[in-house]
Amino acid sequence: MSPMPAPTAARRPRRPDPATIHRIADDAQALEVARHLAVDFAREAAARDRERRLPWDELERWSQSGLGGITVPREHGGAGVSHATLAEVTVITCAADPALGQIPQNHYALLAVLRETGSAEQQRRFYAEVLAGLRLGNGGPERKASSGTVLASAPRLAAHADGLRLDGHRYYSTGALFAHRIPTRAIDAEGRPVQAWVPFDAPGLTVIDDWDALGQRTTASGSVVFDGVRVDPADVLPVWQLAQRPGITGPTSQLIQAAIDQGIAQAALDDAMAFVRERSRPWIDAGVERASDDPYVIAGVGRLQIALHAAHEVLLEAAATLDEIGPGPVSAEESARASVAVAHAKVLTTRIALDAAETLFELAGASATRAAHALDRHWRNARTHTLHDPVRWKTHLIGNHVLNAVLPARHAWN
């Protein structure tokens, strides 16, 4: 594995020409475009991981394809696709390159927040930007253990003589490096959480490419520094309202996370089968000429396929639950049902991503461990991304709901 580069203030994106951005009309087109892009994205996925080559050109094609606007409501000119289509688009993209497929996770999650908390004017303006090809990337939580939980600390949005100013240092900022706006959670003068949608070229904003995790290496999920950044009050969303009323922004975010893991699992199984067919030798006691005829290998692939299929079906079932519940006013019970449904999917996609990425080597044999094949990236990606939020708390959420009728807490990780 090549060494990580030293942290640097990073390259920033170009503003796209709106005339070059395709407008996707419906779910079928979204899936077709995702499948077409996936063929291209898969070609150099292993090389990008090995060299930590950031996918700038690929993201430009992603923006031009119109996939960034697929969740924009139809009344605002978008495709308004279903949660099921959003999940499937994510699976398709992540099966090709899970790091590239993870980069838009916050783009879509932020659009869900906009839908539930943005004013009519904010929705009109920000949806138009997205349809014109602009990308969103989250200014993530603080990573210092001393700061407590991910919700315990946030940048301060304070009033000064010349207006609102934002100060703070964020990490785990997936997508921010490539984004044209970097919405970040902040605390306003009244102590309430808000979300400031900061333009990428705002004076005082610095994105630092210091992401050095063992997997998902090209998501560039590093640091964002806000140093006295001026914030237009019109760019501030009252996300404190999300804790006060039921909604499905948390389940939507979690659905995307589960879909990323499903894509990683699919990629691992696909590569395992290709290696067994093309490169592996049968074990000496198998009595067969091809590794693909080894009965234990066949059974192992079958077991993984069953688990992969089950996870995918539960993922789509969870997406259908979200489609049934929202958009619109949501009851506390409906919000809980959405969180529980997605938790089921998250448990299964986590397990199959890790299992497929590990069992790949058992099925393919010792030669599969050669660095030239880059098959270790599947386990590194699975192990890194499945730590996004602990799956043990998903099983707790499910059990506590079934056993004690306790409604899950409402936040972005449920």
pLDDT band at 150 (very low <50, low <70, confident <90, very high): low
- What pLDDT digit, counting tens, does each position of 219-235 carry? 999 999 999 999 999 99
- The confidence score (pLDDT) of residue 92 equals 98
- What pLDDT digit, counting tens, does each position of 57-79 carry? 999 999 999 999 999 999 999 99
pLDDT band at 1 (very low <50, low <70, confident <90, very high): very low
406 touches 292 (CB < 8 A): no
How do strand 181-187 and strand 163-170 relate by DSSP bridges?
Answer: unpaired
Residues 138/143/148/150 CA torsion (nearest 10 deg): 20
- The confidence score (pLDDT) of residue 8 equals 47
- The confidence score (pLDDT) of residue 143 equals 64
Residues 380/386/390/394 CA torsion (nearest 10 deg): -150
- What pLDDT digit, counting tens, does each position of 308-366 carry? 999 999 999 999 999 999 777 899 999 999 999 999 999 999 999 999 999 999 999 99
Strands (E), 124-222: 156-160, 163-170, 181-187, 193-199, 205-208
C-alpha–C-alpha distance, residues 169 and 89, integer Å: 32
Strand, helix or coil for residue 246: coil
**Percentage of the chain exceeding pLDDT 70:** 95
Residues 254 and 392 in one domain: yes
pLDDT band at 243 (very low <50, low <70, confident <90, very high): confident
- The confidence score (pLDDT) of residue 2 equals 46
Is residue 137, in this structure, part of any structural domain at all? Answer: no
Range of the domain at 113: 18-131
- The confidence score (pLDDT) of residue 208 equals 94
- The confidence score (pLDDT) of residue 160 equals 93
Q: What is the mean pLDDT of the chain?
A: 94
**Percentage of the chain exceeding pLDDT 90:** 89
Residues 327 and 365 in one domain: yes
Is residue 366, in this structure, part of any structural domain at all? Answer: yes
Residues 273 and 367 in one domain: yes
Check which CATH number belongs to the domain holding 61 and give it. Answer: 1.10.540.10
Residues 208 and 186 in one domain: yes
In 3D, which of 131, 36, 157, 141 has the Cα closest to residue 75?
131
Tell me the average pLDDT across 135-142.
89
Is residue 413, in this structure, part of any structural domain at all? Answer: no
Residues 155 and 98 in one domain: no
Task: Choose one of 239, 262, 286: the last residue of a domain.
Answer: 239
In 3D, which of 86, 68, 166, 111 has the Cα closest to residue 342?
86
Residues 277 and 382 in one domain: yes
N residues, the chain: 414
Check which CATH number belongs to the domain holding 377 and give it. Answer: 1.20.140.10
Is pLDDT of 84 > 60? yes
- Is the link from the previous residue into 203 a cis peptide, with omega within 30 of 0? no
Residues 326 and 210 in one domain: no
- The confidence score (pLDDT) of residue 411 equals 87
Residues 60 and 153 in one domain: no
Strand, helix or coil for residue 336: helix
pLDDT band at 141 (very low <50, low <70, confident <90, very high): confident
Count how many domains the chain has.
3
Tell me the average pLDDT across 278-293.
95
Is pLDDT of 89 > 80? yes
Tell me the average pLDDT across 396-407.
98
Is residue 3, in this structure, part of any structural domain at all? Answer: no
Is residue 350, in this structure, part of any structural domain at all? Answer: yes
Say what the pTM is: 0.95
In 3D, which of 224, 250, 234, 221 has the Cα closest to residue 113?
250
